[in-house]
Structure 1
Amino acid sequence: MGYRNLQDCIADLERRGELIRIEQELDPRLEIGAVQRRVYRAGGPALLFTRPRGSRFPMLGNLFGTLERTRWLFRDALRGVETLVRAKIDPRELLKSPSALLRAPLAARYLLPRRVRKAPILAHRTGLEQLPQLVSWPRDGGAFITLPQVYSEDPAAPGWRHSNLGMYRVQISGNDYGPAEAGMHYQIHRGIAIHHRRALEAGQPLRVNVFVGGPPALSVAAVMPLPEGMPEIAFAGLLGGRRIDLTSAANGLPMPAEADFCLTGWLDPAVLKKEGPFGDHLGYYSLGHEFPVFRVETVHHRPDAIWPFTTVGRPPQEDTSFGAFIHELTGELIPEVLPGVHAVHAVDAAGVHPLLLAVGSERYTPYAEPGRPQELLTQANAILGQGQLSLAKYLLIANAGDNPPELQRIDDFLRFMLERVDWRRDLHFQTRTTIDTLDYSGRGLNRGSKLVVAAVGKPLRRLAAVLPENLRLPDGFSDPTLPLPGVLAVRAPAWGAPPHGNDPVLDQFCRRQEKLGMDEGIALVVLVDDPQFVARSLDDWLWTVFTRSDPAVDIDGLGADTLHKHWGCTGPLVIDARLKAHHAPPLEELPEVEKKVDELGGPGGPLHGII
């Protein structure tokens, strides 16, 4: 049986030695987040901050800080979830016909929430200003709820069966927000958007509840990529191994009886306000933009309420464990949802959505050796049309029949692709489309391009392991290095144009190909600000190249040509991965805050031996 509430979970972790209490007073502004990030990097325990400055509510961080701990939290229910997956039982069908639950595996009975009148969450009320004011990064626009569970219902079909529970960040102070206002930042391709649109079309506000805390299964369910029509509140019961008890909040919507907090209110249909900046999971600040205003009427909380939080930043962070755990739960479903696709892997080090790796099947002409990508392109289009996979910016897809490496072996997979790709044929662009809201490499908010790279067949080249002897760079370009086999990194002049302007550097490099002297062992060139940085590790290379480039704008190549509107090149592909004037600033730690964290790890400190 899973945890009834967060308090039971904390007690269990403490008995197991997986949680420590930090009794020193620490500031939720910058200090507490810095501690959590440092302990995460050390693979350390969950952290209960008992004295956050300015608030009477303890704060819980790093709950999901390791994949092993995350698995352990749900140990009692995982077998039931796996049974449903392997039996190919669609929980949506069970919810349509509850009598079918009697014939389903035992775990399925936890899908149905239960209504209760008496509940801990009804005990007390407070205001936004009394909540912990977590500020994770120096340029953040204010305090944010970083593990919110945002609940809404379809205005045309009220009730939990047509609900959405999503993790959309909520700004509770700063900017131009009043004392009972918060910013509701939801990105594209989020379920709440459907409910919000229907409310706006009906000329009415959208009622919203924001849960914080409660059974850990609620937080995971809020980020699960569930199929449309599957309510997350039901999946939370399945994952948590017990039915979710619901009671009524002040605004009439349900809230979990065992939640720690619930902010109730509605989205104002007439007002947008600036939300952000916010240090986000790509490793940069998402900038301030106009987003809906959440009018907070009531803040419910239980008597022993604890405020769970996380901080995000350049991967890996605590949300990396979320992603890995979700992949374990859903990976087996990929061939069912996407016929012919064997596996998909969103690369965490590249910021998740910027880079997607996949393995598909070439089955169109089984009587012949694949001579060019065919069905792979159909499968790539299917991937880019599926849920949050549609936010991918770069998609690299290989043929299972060619025996590619496992997708988690990223360097080996990249080598496999670069050995086989034909740049004249295998590049497929979408030039004006939507990309991740948090990605500022494109032409504006939610605007950018995508690139599919599909490769089949035997190797076409042997990748260089050392710099070519005859390499000659044009004036202004320097410090060549090989961060990966067949990949050349070159220092290029700093970006010198206005935001989204026409900087000639990429064109200058590619049009001077007679001076380069590169042999066929160089398949890819990346123009960067610091070649030594990208050569330092695979993660540094992935993060730089895929978060700082917009495929349609920042890709060129040697011997480039367009034939029948298809662009390709005969020589190496070139990606401009410099920082540009329209990019968001990268996140940086404050030395004085890091020094304080160091002190907590010193002799006699609560983190001694951990960090």
Structure 2
Amino acid sequence: MGYKNLQSCVADLERHGMLIRIDEPLSLNMEVGAVQRRVYAAGGPALLFTNVKETAFPLLGNLFGTLERTRWIFRDTLDVIESLVRLKLHPMEALRHPLKFRGAPMGALHLLPRRVSGGPVLDCIISSSELPQLVSWPRDGGAFITLPQVYSESLQSPGLRGGNLGMYRVQISGNEYSPDREMGVHYQIHRGIGVHHREAVERGVPLPVNIFVGGAPSMTMAAVMPLPEGMPELSFAGLLGGHRVPMVTRAGGLPFPAQADFVIRGTIDPAKVKPEGPFGDHLGYYSLVHDFPVLDIKEIFCRRDAIWPFTTVGRPPQEDTSFGTFIHELTGELIPTVLPGICEVHAVDAAGVHPLLLAIGSERYTPYNPLSEPQELLTQANAILGHGQLSLAKFLFIAAREDNADLDTHNIREYFTHVLERVDWRRDVHFQTMTTIDTLDYTGHGLNRGSKVVIAAAGAPRRSLEGTLPAQMELPAGFRRPTVAMPGILVISGPACAARKKQGGDPDIKELCRVLREHPLPEACAMVVVVDDSEFAARTEENFLWVTFTRSNPATDIYGVGAFTESKHWGCTGPLIIDARTKAGHAPGLEEDPAVTRRVEELAAQGGPLFQVI
């Protein structure tokens, strides 16, 4: 039941035609990554690279490259997890229909890892320079582990319940790292390892950390799960994998999976940091060089038949999109139990996940009065922005279920139309300034620092939206090519923005506001987004979401026609304007090396290993 290791999963996928072998000699330097990205984009199979030039280990890519394959990998346990979710939502159902939940007790038996004295992971001892030195993008600062499972435990409460398994970026070469002795550990804010690191800093002692690579597929999925506090990721890995996870402990150190492909054991010195990065990341840009903790390597184990799983991180959608969708399928129904009154929360993958949340809440404060403006929605918005990794969001749109029982946050166009029909820009825009944002987001005023905005909409429609350009439109010099991105949303190419925003705002956007006040747009135009290239931004829904929300910081980049501040509340009488142009200080976007792209195209030609695959 379930896969206990990566080898059995690979063999099963190959038997069922879901995996192909790539025997063509390829390089770790961008080539295997470029192949994986192209096969993912084509909805293709998992890939086992058997002849990678710079390493003795085979590499596994695109394992979770489709949602269908991800579901298939965990097919033996999904019914059990669904039963446990239903029990959480409706506990009395077990008494009324016990046969529906007969698998739940057996699943619960898999929550507790079991200790073993040894396992295949102890077959070999290697150095870090023998690990596959995978480089994904031209400007990456070195080689990175892209699917690491980083395990630490609380120094105050060691053991399973005090453990954290997370997927934090690990740089294994480059920059100032001592070869075979050090690695960089890049973890973002609001991550469990940060609590453990803080305890080590306060005590002045090293923090033991183990990094697992490979092993049971359930271990990889558990490392990215946003689990509630009190549920260890190792327990979820057992539940999803259909077996108790066998763990080895050596010389009093932290445990590690007996079936892992690689285990890196080490400690983080609380006083030591070194430059880490750049790295092509999931927002579609490079996260730049910053100081992060350093892992001092103690030893590295690996299986004799070890496989190195990897992915490529880049502008979404990428393979990690399947993670997010699969997680939503497993846990989406639990949202109301964690955030009362909330019906849905959608972290929009096309916008880089953290920059944009779409939510549906409930208005229950005054059921005896007609719904006319957001009330409880604002309370619920604050709850969302105070909950776990949702707190990293920059833009949160929230609507009331009472206005449309069929509203779906995953139907982006319909959702934005619903909100923009109802929003009152004089009242419904609520800022949080000088706060925290995603570590990888460079639109704010510093690392981890930026702003947030809640846009809440409730009540009857205020305007009808159109999907066509206004018949007449006056624009200042430098603004051109207005295009409709969605009903009620115009995107306009603006003049190049050479500097970050200063106090008082950008003069070009202020001039746009002035002109649009003197020559008003129709009421049907509710929002204007200024971009570098309106044709690109409006070409697809994905382009619009990516450009708009990864290139803007609410406090400095939101303007409005007829803007005013009253009792410290900001609003505007005309359309809302978002400046989503590229600005100084933003991270550069990701682009492939043309020579690497040509090499992949050659593999896709007739007779090549990727012919009719991409």
Amino acid corresponding to residue 398 of structure 1 in structure 2? A
- Counterpart of 1:484? 486
Task: Output the CA distance in 1 between the equivalents of 2:541 and 2:426.
Answer: 27
Q: Does 1:310 align with 2:337?
A: no
Q: 1:565 is matched with which residue: 557, 568, 572?
A: 568
- Alpha-carbon deviation of 1:599? 1.0
- Counterpart of 2:336? 335
Residue 532 of structure 2 contacts residue 582 of structure 2 at CA under 8 Å; is this kept in 1?
Answer: yes
- Alpha-carbon deviation of 1:498? 5.5
Task: Output the CA distance in 1 between the equivalents of 2:200 and 2:485.
Answer: 51
- Cα 1:52–1:282 change in 2 (3 A) is same
Task: Output the CA distance in 2 between the equivalents of 1:412 and 1:393.
Answer: 21
Q: Does 1:21 align with 2:21?
A: yes
Amino acid corresponding to residue 390 of structure 1 in structure 2? S
- Alpha-carbon deviation of 1:471? 0.9
Q: Does 1:579 align with 2:582?
A: yes
Amino acid corresponding to residue 269 of structure 2 in structure 1? D
- Alpha-carbon deviation of 1:497? 2.2
Task: Output the CA distance in 2 between the equivalents of 1:112 and 1:155.
Answer: 20
Residue 251 of structure 1 contacts residue 264 of structure 1 at CA under 8 Å; is this kept in 2?
Answer: no
Task: Output the CA distance in 2 between the equivalents of 1:511 and 1:540.
Answer: 28
**Structural mapping, 1:93-492, within 5 Å:** 105-179=105-179, 180-249=181-250, 252-403=253-404, 405-492=407-494
- Counterpart of 1:30? 30
Residue 273 of structure 1 contacts residue 290 of structure 1 at CA under 8 Å; is this kept in 2?
Answer: yes
- Counterpart of 1:96? none
Amino acid corresponding to residue 484 of structure 2 in structure 1? L
Q: Does 1:607 align with 2:610?
A: yes
SS at match of 1:110: coil
Task: Output the CA distance in 2 between the equivalents of 1:497 and 1:401.
Answer: 44
- Counterpart of 2:74? 74
- Cα 1:610–1:498 change in 2 (3 A) is same
What is the CA deviation profile of residues 322-343 of structure 1, one whole-angstrom value per residue up to 9, with x for unaligned ones?
Answer: 0000000110100100111011
**What 5-or-longer segments of structure 2 have no aligned partner?**
92-100
Task: Output the CA distance in 2 between the equivalents of 1:154 and 1:52.
Answer: 39
Residue 83 of structure 1 contacts residue 105 of structure 1 at CA under 8 Å; is this kept in 2?
Answer: no
Task: Output the CA distance in 1 between the equivalents of 2:89 and 2:187.
Answer: 31
Task: Output the CA distance in 1 between the equivalents of 2:463 and 2:521.
Answer: 13
**Structural mapping, 1:34-49, within 5 Å:** 34-49=34-49
Amino acid corresponding to residue 235 of structure 1 in structure 2? F
- Counterpart of 2:97? none
Task: Output the CA distance in 1 between the equivalents of 2:520 and 2:90.
Answer: 57
Amino acid corresponding to residue 263 of structure 2 in structure 1? C
SS at match of 1:87: helix
Residue 517 of structure 2 contacts residue 562 of structure 2 at CA under 8 Å; is this kept in 1?
Answer: no
TM-score by length of 2: 0.96
Residue 465 of structure 2 contacts residue 525 of structure 2 at CA under 8 Å; is this kept in 1?
Answer: yes
- Counterpart of 2:521? 518
Equivalenced residue count is 602
Task: Output the CA distance in 2 between the equivalents of 1:167 and 1:438.
Answer: 15
- Cα 1:607–1:294 change in 2 (3 A) is same
- Alpha-carbon deviation of 1:516? 3.5
What is the CA deviation profile of residues 239-291 of structure 1, one whole-angstrom value per residue up to 9, with x for unaligned ones?
Answer: 10111000024671100000000000000122110000000000000001000
Q: Which runs of 4+ in 1 moved over 3 A?
A: 101-104, 498-503, 514-517
- Alpha-carbon deviation of 1:602? 1.1
SS at match of 2:196: helix
Task: Output the CA distance in 2 between the equivalents of 1:500 and 1:72.
Answer: 52
Task: Output the CA distance in 2 between the equivalents of 1:500 and 1:38.
Answer: 41
TM-score by length of 1: 0.96
Amino acid corresponding to residue 591 of structure 2 in structure 1? E
Residue 316 of structure 2 contacts residue 352 of structure 2 at CA under 8 Å; is this kept in 1?
Answer: yes
Task: Output the CA distance in 2 between the equivalents of 1:349 and 1:568.
Answer: 28
- Counterpart of 1:588? 591
What is the CA deviation profile of residues 310-359 of structure 1, one whole-angstrom value per residue up to 9, with x for unaligned ones?
Answer: 00100000000000000001101001001110111111100001000010
Q: 2:543 is matched with which residue: 540, 552, 556?
A: 540
- Alpha-carbon deviation of 1:90? 12
- Counterpart of 2:508? 505
SS at match of 1:359: strand
- Alpha-carbon deviation of 1:469? 1.8
Residue 251 of structure 1 contacts residue 265 of structure 1 at CA under 8 Å; is this kept in 2?
Answer: no
SS at match of 1:237: helix
**What 5-or-longer segments of structure 1 have no aligned partner?**
92-100
Residue 557 of structure 1 contacts residue 569 of structure 1 at CA under 8 Å; is this kept in 2?
Answer: yes
- Alpha-carbon deviation of 1:572? 0.2
What is the CA deviation profile of residues 424-444 of structure 1, one whole-angstrom value per residue up to 9, with x for unaligned ones?
Answer: 000010011000111111111
Residue 472 of structure 1 contacts residue 515 of structure 1 at CA under 8 Å; is this kept in 2?
Answer: no
Residue 144 of structure 1 contacts residue 171 of structure 1 at CA under 8 Å; is this kept in 2?
Answer: yes
SS at match of 1:111: coil
- Counterpart of 1:95? none
Task: Output the CA distance in 1 between the equivalents of 2:571 and 2:247.
Answer: 57
- Alpha-carbon deviation of 1:467? 1.5
Task: Output the CA distance in 2 between the equivalents of 1:264 and 1:230.
Answer: 24
What is the CA deviation profile of residues 148-173 of structure 1, one whole-angstrom value per residue up to 9, with x for unaligned ones?
Answer: 00000111122122100000010000
- Alpha-carbon deviation of 1:104? 5.9
Q: Does 1:4 align with 2:7?
A: no
Task: Output the CA distance in 2 between the equivalents of 1:378 and 1:515.
Answer: 37
Amino acid corresponding to residue 308 of structure 2 in structure 1? W
What is the CA deviation profile of residues 60-94 of structure 1, one whole-angstrom value per residue up to 9, with x for unaligned ones?
Answer: 00000000000000000111111111101899xxx
- Alpha-carbon deviation of 1:108? 0.5
